[in-house]
Amino acid sequence: MKTFSMSPAAGERYVPVSCPVCGESRTREGWNCGSYRFARCIGCGHLYQNPQPHFDGLRARYGDDYFSYELENDANFFDLMLKGLQDAGFFELERKLGDRRRFLDIGCATGMLLAYLKNRDWRVQGVEICEPAARYGVEKRKVPIAVGTLDEAAFQDAAFSFVHFSHVIEHVPDPRAFLLEVNRVLEPGGYVITVTPNRAGLQARVFRERWRSSIADHLNLFSRRSLVRLLSECGFSPIGWKTWGGIAKGMAPNFVKAPLDRLAKLAGFGDVVLVVSQKISRKPQDPPVGPPDGAP
């Protein structure tokens, strides 16, 4: 999958933020990418953009160019997403839910996954910040998509039994507030699947600032560890995870890439990480505290 990033517009405002994972505000040098940088939290090792681009500027990045990119890659992204969902046991969870099939896809692009699930008897709903992509989904795929952010959609409490967001949480300015809102709109016992670039993966460790996911639109670079911690603190119980992608296409001949991809998946150092979790109805407990994320 190629990665697309809109360049920040001239004059975008930036705001200082503290670590969304542990709340610490002090950082040390992380990855310097030129016009933006990822600071490293001294509390937990999390990498995040600080100062952070102001949300008004971020929102403006997801316009017509972004839509063209999404439409161009629609089928390819959908295939990858479906493989990921299958790998993560989505269809077993679907069976468990029986007729409680209410699916929310946050960052649904043109709604391809929603259209697919609608045909499997799910009641579906999308949220998409890129207005032309959302309009395309509503008009061409006949699926409901709210334009804007999850907050702005203002869904009712416990409106869904399944929430999915793939390649979204790394774009969100406040991932903790985002996950708490996901928790609110999900029914107790409902499932969440989140997919994000894995900054503890092989490619991130090798390429660092030049990693294909070290882009200006990614505000937070998660590892499985930091993602699981945040999910646990926001009222979810992680029940499974996968990583995949050993090395990017074109970076090695296939006789190297294929075994490396298999190994990455087995050993958990793949380029993308997926975590499945379930909403717990009791008060979330603090997860056990361990050593900070190591410096890749």
Answer for the pair 126, 135: CB distance below 8 angstroms, yes or no: no
| 24 forms part of the interface with Zn ion (CB under 5 A) | yes
Output Rg (C-alpha) for the chain, integer angstroms. Answer: 18
- Indicate the residue among 52 and 166 with the shorter CB distance to Zn ion: 52
| 228 forms part of the interface with Zn ion (CB under 5 A) | no
Tokens 């045909």 belong to 119
| 19 forms part of the interface with Zn ion (CB under 5 A) | yes
Residues that contact Zn ion, how many (by CB under 5 A): 8
| 39 forms part of the interface with Zn ion (CB under 5 A) | no
DSSP 122: -
Q: Which stretch binds Zn ion (CB under 5 A): 39-47, 130-138, 217-225, 238-246?
A: 39-47
The three-class DSSP label of residue 135 is helix
- Indicate the residue among 130 and 230 with the shorter CB distance to Zn ion: 230
| 292 forms part of the interface with Zn ion (CB under 5 A) | no
| 227 forms part of the interface with Zn ion (CB under 5 A) | no
Among 27, 38, 40, 44, binds Zn ion (CB under 5 A): 44
- Output the six-digit token pair for 26: 């002090």
- Indicate the residue among 19 and 192 with the shorter CB distance to Zn ion: 19
Question: What is the spatial distance between Cα 45 and Cα 166, in angstroms, rounded to a whole number?
Answer: 23
Phi-psi region of 143 (alpha: psi -120 to 50; beta: other; left: phi over 0): beta
Pairing of strands 272-279, 236-244: antiparallel
- Indicate the residue among 213 and 223 with the shorter CB distance to Zn ion: 223
**Torsion from C-alpha of 124, 100, 151, 167, nearest 10 degrees:** -60
| 46 forms part of the interface with Zn ion (CB under 5 A) | yes
Q: Cβ–Cβ contacts within 10 Å for residue 72, how many?
A: 12
| 109 forms part of the interface with Zn ion (CB under 5 A) | no
| 287 forms part of the interface with Zn ion (CB under 5 A) | no
DSSP 113: H
| 8 forms part of the interface with Zn ion (CB under 5 A) | no
Among 22, 124, 134, 273, binds Zn ion (CB under 5 A): 22
Q: Which stretch binds Zn ion (CB under 5 A): 16-24, 147-155, 193-201, 202-210?
A: 16-24
Q: Which stretch binds Zn ion (CB under 5 A): 23-31, 83-91, 187-195, 243-251?
A: 23-31
Among 27, 36, 40, 41, binds Zn ion (CB under 5 A): 41
Question: What is the spatial distance between Cα 145 and Cα 112, in angstroms, rounded to a whole number?
Answer: 11
Question: What is the spatial distance between Cα 276 and Cα 96, in angstroms, rounded to a whole number?
Answer: 14
Q: Which residues bind Zn ion (CB under 5 A)?
A: 19, 21-22, 24, 41, 43-44, 46
